[in-house]
Amino acid sequence: MVKLNKIYTRTGDAGTTGLVDGSRLPKYASRMQAVGDVDEANSAIGLAILAIGKATEADWLTVIQNDLFDLGADLATPIPEGEDEPWALRILASQVQRLEEQIDAMNESLAPLDSFILPGGSPAAAAVHLARAVTRRAERSATAAAAEAALNPQALAYLNRLSDLLFVLARRLNGNGADDVKWVPGASR
């Protein structure tokens, strides 16, 4: 369990931050960009939970918020070459599978799309769409970091699946798609 006695440590004042293994990276490093973007996605999901209110969907998102803390720890833990690391907190295939099962269950009651949709509809759906867009950015950052250093492939899959889940959830919150705002190409010309 994490215990924080002091919030500031001054160890990052020179522009570096510590990883789980004790090594340090510049705060602008792509790995740290990914960690920060995951944190921002988590915050956006927190706002979506408030917009949804007390509902099953909010409970799902609370579980996802916890997963995103795990994912941030995963990204902040370098993968040692050729070492077994049973101590490391990593995203598991079962967590990705849970998202897939939720997507499939929600998608059963949705009409197929016949147009792209605009991020909006209800306040709850709009908040979820914002969280989806931030999650997509986190995914882009994580894949950029993975091009520089080994990252857990399940962490990348989780972010990809999460953005899909948030898209489907936004449609669910828009009356199972009935209140989606459809894109009309060239409508404002």
Q: What is the pLDDT along the chain (189 residues), one digit of tens a residue?
A: 666 676 667 766 667 787 777 778 778 889 999 999 999 999 999 999 999 999 899 999 999 999 999 999 999 998 887 666 777 889 999 999 999 999 999 999 998 888 899 999 999 999 999 999 999 999 999 999 999 999 999 999 999 999 999 999 999 999 999 899 999 999 889
* DSSP 8-state code for residue 152: -
pLDDT at 98: 97
Whole-Å CA distances, 76 to 13, 29, 37, 177, 189: 19, 11, 12, 37, 47
pLDDT at 171: 96
Q: Where are the beta strands (DSSP E) in 78-123?
A: 117-118
Whole-Å CA distances, 186 to 34, 59, 182, 183, 189: 35, 39, 12, 9, 6
pLDDT at 22: 76
Q: What is this structure's pTM?
A: 0.91
A 10 A CB-CB count for 148 gives 10
pLDDT at 176: 92
pLDDT at 111: 86
